């Protein structure tokens, strides 16, 4: 557990360093003003979500191919983390859109396809929670995880395929000055590290849950279990 705490602390420290670069190193955008600083976290969270869903894809394929329980756990862990980062992407995008577009939400192709992505993987996690544990549920969820990834390139290329209010890719177009570009790349790297740490922690939790007998209850820290040598006295 110590190594997970250390990894989590390192990830938090990196995100704080990224925040420092965003607010104190990157210049203020001449057109959008301070609200443009949301860009660094908004886009980085989207990339972390895509990476998480790519991990779901790989884990799902390996599970269907070889029946690896480790791959299935990895897919489950990555789906949850990807959903969290997709939520961050949507919320940050809405906060950015209000002062720029005058509204929190519009049924833009990029926004709509991202919302669909959120719904797909929320459905994936819902299947894992509601379906009876077993290979049949794992196989069905793996299929959802594989076909759900089809929406990732749709989200990415939506600004090229349809007319959209969302701005096009500024990184590929080399539209950022050096200070903004370096801040974005650093923030993206820190966010990916955070996503990796969260997946590792969630994978560990999934492993512990899989090791619990069916129907057993894991004691909470607030109500510790009674030691075995005292159970007789407690029941007397």
CATH of the domain at 228: 1.20.120
- What are 62-86's pLDDT values in tens digits? 999 998 999 999 999 999 999 999 9
What is d(CA 136, CA 139) in angstroms, rounded to the nearest whole number? 5
pTM: 0.85
Low-confidence ranges of the chain (pLDDT < 50): 217-236
Give me the number of domains the chain comprises. Answer: 1
Q: Which domain holds residue 165?
A: 2-235
């Amino acid at each position: 557990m110590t190594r997970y705490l250390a990894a989590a602390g390192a990830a938090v420290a990196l995100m704080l360093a990224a925040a420092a670069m965003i607010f104190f190193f990157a210049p203020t955008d001449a057109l959008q003003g301070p609200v443009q600083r949301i860009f660094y976290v908004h886009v980085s969270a989207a990339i972390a979500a895509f990476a998480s869903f790519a991990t779901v894809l790989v884990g799902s394929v390996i599970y269907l191919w070889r029946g690896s329980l480790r791959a299935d756990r990895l897919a489950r862990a990555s789906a949850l983390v990807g959903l969290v980062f997709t939520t961050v992407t949507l919320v940050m995008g809405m906060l950015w859109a209000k002062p720029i577009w005058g509204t929190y939400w519009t049924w833009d192709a990029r926004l709509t396809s991202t919302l669909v992505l959120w719904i797909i993987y929320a459905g994936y996690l819902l299947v894992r929670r509601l379906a009876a544990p077993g290979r049949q549920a794992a196989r069905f969820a793996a299929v959802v995880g594989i076909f759900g990834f089809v929406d990732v390139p749709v989200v990415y290329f939506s600004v090229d395929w349809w007319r959209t209010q969302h701005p096009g890719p500024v990184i590929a177009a080399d539209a950022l000055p050096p200070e903004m570009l370096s801040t974005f790349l650093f923030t993206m790297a820190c966010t990916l590290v955070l996503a990796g740490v969260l997946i590792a922690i969630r994978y560990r939790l999934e492993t512990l849950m899989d090791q619990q007998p069916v129907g057993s209850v894991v004691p909470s820290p607030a109500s510790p279990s009674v030691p075995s040598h005292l159970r007789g006295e407690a029941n007397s």
